[in-house]
Structure 1
Amino acid sequence: MGLFRKKRRPIELPAGVAPTLMEVKFRGCAFWMPEHWVITRQLDDGKDYEPWVLDYFLQTLQPGMTVLDVGASWGAFALPAARKVGATGKVIAIEMSAGNGRVLLESAKASGVTNMQLLLVGVSDRLGTEYLRRQTVHNNFQMEPPTDGIPEDLDAFDIAPVVPLDLLRADFGKVDVLKIDIEGMEYRAFMGARALMAEQKPITFLEYSPRFQSEISGADGSALLTFFLDLGYSVEILHRKKKRELVVGDTAAQVIAQVDAAWNRHVEDDKGTHLDLCLTAKG
């Protein structure tokens, strides 16, 4: 779709200028998004969004399920998921960017979605505050790498609270499916969700990047995979250009080596940054 349309260049919105929203139809929902965002213009040109993950994610959902979407961004997963789980299910969208949160609420209202709950916080292994560098082109936000103090250019940041998921789990109920995309904070997020994951073992969709984990969480990629393998999860790679691959190995080290090799090939061959994984508790 959109292959013969003229490519649009991203627009950089000047600081202090309020964005103009435009409606974009995607996956049966109406999204009201800033027209200067790169993703808005791509969707308006008819392009899809991560179909190798989103298709499988939606296939996994059943009516009545509870979905936890951590790093919900503009709602590409949260809103279609809310439709799929229906009135007896619910989606809990966790997003720490106030701008993205407004897009989520506007889009839910326009789409008639009433079973989505927005929590405007970030997740981590501690209760505290983090800093998000403001974006003027797109919707992707990344926490600053850990520092010992307040950034010198504080005006360039949004300030957001972070909380361990384990402190919130009593309000979630049974979580059936968890999707997480938080630009390298995944390891720290799961260190703050040990009880939730051990008790409920939801099907988990996540982005895996050893480089991002090292930069933002201060942990090796292997530590993130080990966390799931120790809980008895299997690992499936959601390749972009070929069929999904269930990783098979006799030991955790063999599984990790295969996943890391696939990540390295993706970085070298496709100039990508991360692998998309689906993790499912065995049995």
Structure 2
Amino acid sequence: MQLAELQRNWNEFGRTDPLWSVLTDARFKDNKWDPVAFFKTGEQEVESVLAGLTALGVTMPRRRALDFGCAVGRLTQALCRHFERCDGVDIAPSMIDLAREYDQFPSRCHYHLNEADDLALFPDNTFDFIYSRLVLQHMEPRYSKKYIAEFVRVLAPGGVAFFQIPAGPPAPGQEPPREWALPEAGFRASIEIDNMPATLEAGSPHDLQVRVTNSSPVAWPRGQHSSGRDVIVLGNHWLLADGKPFTPDDGRTALTDGLRPSETAYVPLRVIAPTAPGSYLLELDMVQEGVSWFAPKGSRTCRIKVDVCKGAGAQPVETAPVMEMYGVPQQDVLGVVEAAGGQIVAVLDDHSAEPLLSYQYVVTKTKAQQKPAPAPAGRVAAAPSGIPDGGNPEADEALLLLNGLAQHAALQARVSEALAKRLLGIERLVRETHELVNHVGAGVPTGGRFAVYQGNNLALTRILNRYSMYVDTTDVSIGPHLITHGQWEPWITSLFTRLLRPGMTAVDIGANFGYYTILAGFAVGATGRVYALEADPRNYEVLQLNLTVNGLLDIVQSRQCAVLDAKKRVELRRNPTLLGCHSLFAGEQGSARNVSVEALPLDEIIPGSVDFMKIDAEGSEPFIFDGMRNVLERSPQVKIIMEFNVPVLKLAGVDPASFLRKIHDHHFTVSIIPREGDLEPLNEQKLLDGPLYDLLLIRK
């Protein structure tokens, strides 16, 4: 696609549905985005990205920032809250006009129409921070590569560029492991539509009756798998007449009952006709949520030609805009950055372009450029060069942290003893590098699991054989279980993942290092939202690192605070070795380890309704309930997993029986979550005798 065509498409999106074209959530299509909520997502995204970079040890001056592909200024305005000046660049005149209309920082936000394939409107070394997300993926590689090189050129020494771009479809074996995935032979379906008219009115809905037959030799399961997502789903796409994508994901309906081989089910599906008149192809396919569409596995889709006519009162559209997707292989991105004089310091997973593999790249530029060490393929950070030989301890420590992001054995072939000595220059760091190489190459011999020491009391491990996770090595409560077993509280984990579904809003109060936050982020997906709240500064730092390395910064909104019944400052009593047991009530008052933290009621944090909560707050639970009355009123279907710790409640000055009555007053049915077996009906005397039980609360 030429730049002129790209400009025409996005200019049309700016005229017809600008906010949805930026954040393509099906719930807000056809101008249903509330602008206040839309721009709030930009603030949350920028805050999460900057916090994640800080957790990685990556900082930059806060003078001038660039938002590349700014559209209506969602991120430009958000960046202005953190930088003295922000420039937004876009190819579409309609988007630039809207950005100026929405702008709340006219003296510090500057918007530029850029129709060129470079950034010649800016001189070298201009920006301290460059951010681009969901933009480069819509350009042919010949353009996106040139823009990436331009990012490095206009980046000031000491600055940071953070951009996202897909690498392309997953290669065989690269798909993330899914223990619930169908075998390859199971991805076969026959799809037929009984009631599809040849013509639809632009923008109109139409309810289809679709016959779906399992044409594979494998039975499709019913209900939900362990992550809480629908197992098999019918979905549709709209394509242009030439087969190019137009609306990648229009609607989905879950196949709630399982299908044995050769069985047929009738599945209702609502489709929304494109808003622009013209000829289209309606394509239907099956998808196993969290795994794959059927078509890439060899199954045939159902395609029907549909003419879309102008509806009553509809505005004429010259040509339908197209939202195409392109990828650039990871090694090509690394090569472009290196050739331009930049340095990759982190390559992070990204989930915004699925089913394409996608990555977020963190790039820096130093005054004295040196050739950086090549990065291994996959989720790897390249080793930075140009670090002083012991002259800058903070830079040396950052080097250890960034090197630690390299999880794969490929690092062993790249970090030789000579290279380690040349980079680090002192014996202490040479020894630590050899320890890192040994860990990466062999892992820790714990039944096939591994842990990699990162420095700064951090170890990197893998949970549930799926997700990367950092833990604090000084912790003896949660961390050892995550390293040796890959999970925490399996009886809670199983129920937790069953209760969450895509699109839900979840709250994790007492998020700790982020174990349950990670599970929630992947369960609710890009259409959902997770709020992660953690009071302890160190735990919050590790939490941010885990959100970054798992690519969840756009799904999870995190905040360092305690949750109580009112806004105030409180003393957090920190346990020196049990980092999951910090409390406002248990522990030594006035200890030098303790910290003063902000406390907020949940009603001031959560603006809307909530589907699910996990509360583990070491005695603060009654006060949390007092501070979330409005949230509960807005959330009639909310489910809560929480700890009921009788001794700690008494330390907090709370009568456990009174707290239980308060729970019932909010119309919750209470069940006890046993370590083995099914949920148990509440036995009040057993609960009040303590000492500690895990509870599931479900609204009556």
TM-score category of the 2 structures, normalised to the smaller one: 0.7 to 0.9
Alignment partners' CA distance in 2, 1:47 and 1:32: 12
The 4+ residue runs of structure 1 with deviation greater than 4 A are none
The root-mean-square deviation of aligned C-alpha atoms, in Å, is 2.2
Q: Report the number of matched residues.
A: 243
**Runs of 5+ unmatched residues, structure 2:** 1-444, 448-454
1:166 aligns to what?
A: 603
2:696 aligns to what?
A: 278
1:75 aligns to what?
A: 514
Alignment partners' CA distance in 1, 2:533 and 2:584: 18
Q: Secondary structure at the match of 2:485?
A: coil
**Contact 2:470-2:513 within 8 A present in 1 as well:** no
Alignment partners' CA distance in 2, 1:200 and 1:30: 32
1:28-43 alignment runs, 5 A limit: 28-38=466-476, 39-43=478-482
1:263 deviates by: 5.5
1:21 deviates by: 1.0
Q: Secondary structure at the match of 2:648?
A: helix
Q: Secondary structure at the match of 2:515?
A: coil
2:570 aligns to what?
A: 130
1:133 deviates by: 2.4
Matched, 1:113 2:113: no
Q: Secondary structure at the match of 1:67?
A: strand
Alignment partners' CA distance in 2, 1:211 and 1:279: 21
Task: Describe the superposition over 1:65-87 as per-residue Cα deviations: whole angstroms up to 9, x where unpaired.
Answer: 01011111111211111001111
Task: Describe the superposition over 1:71-107 as per-residue Cα deviations: whole angstroms up to 9, x where unpaired.
Answer: 1111121111100111101110010111111111111
1:183 aligns to what?
A: 618
Alignment partners' CA distance in 1, 2:699 and 2:626: 18
1:197-212 alignment runs, 5 A limit: 197-201=632-636, 202-212=638-648
**Contact 1:72-1:78 within 8 A present in 2 as well:** yes
1:161 deviates by: 0.8
Alignment partners' CA distance in 1, 2:686 and 2:575: 32
1:259 aligns to what?
A: 684
Larger radius of gyration: 2
**Contact 1:124-1:192 within 8 A present in 2 as well:** yes
1:255 aligns to what?
A: none
62-71 vs 32-41, greater mean Cα deviation = 32-41
**Contact 1:68-1:178 within 8 A present in 2 as well:** yes
1:23 deviates by: 0.6
Matched, 1:145 2:585: yes
Q: 1:156 to 1:139 in 2, by over 3 A?
A: closer
**Contact 2:656-2:688 within 8 A present in 1 as well:** no
Q: Secondary structure at the match of 1:229?
A: helix
1:51 deviates by: 1.2
Which has the higher relative contact order, 1 or 2, with Cα contacts under 8 A spaced 6 or more apart? 1
**Contact 1:177-1:204 within 8 A present in 2 as well:** yes
Q: 1:75 to 1:193 in 2, by over 3 A?
A: same
Alignment partners' CA distance in 2, 1:212 and 1:135: 14
Alignment partners' CA distance in 2, 1:42 and 1:133: 23
Alignment partners' CA distance in 1, 2:489 and 2:657: 24
Q: 1:277 to 1:94 in 2, by over 3 A?
A: same
**Runs of 5+ unmatched residues, structure 1:** 7-17, 248-257, 268-272
Alignment partners' CA distance in 1, 2:483 and 2:527: 32
1:12 aligns to what?
A: none
Q: 1:144 to 1:229 in 2, by over 3 A?
A: closer
TM-score w.r.t. length of structure 2: 0.33
Identity of aligned residues (%): 26
TM-score w.r.t. length of structure 1: 0.79
Q: Secondary structure at the match of 2:462?
A: strand
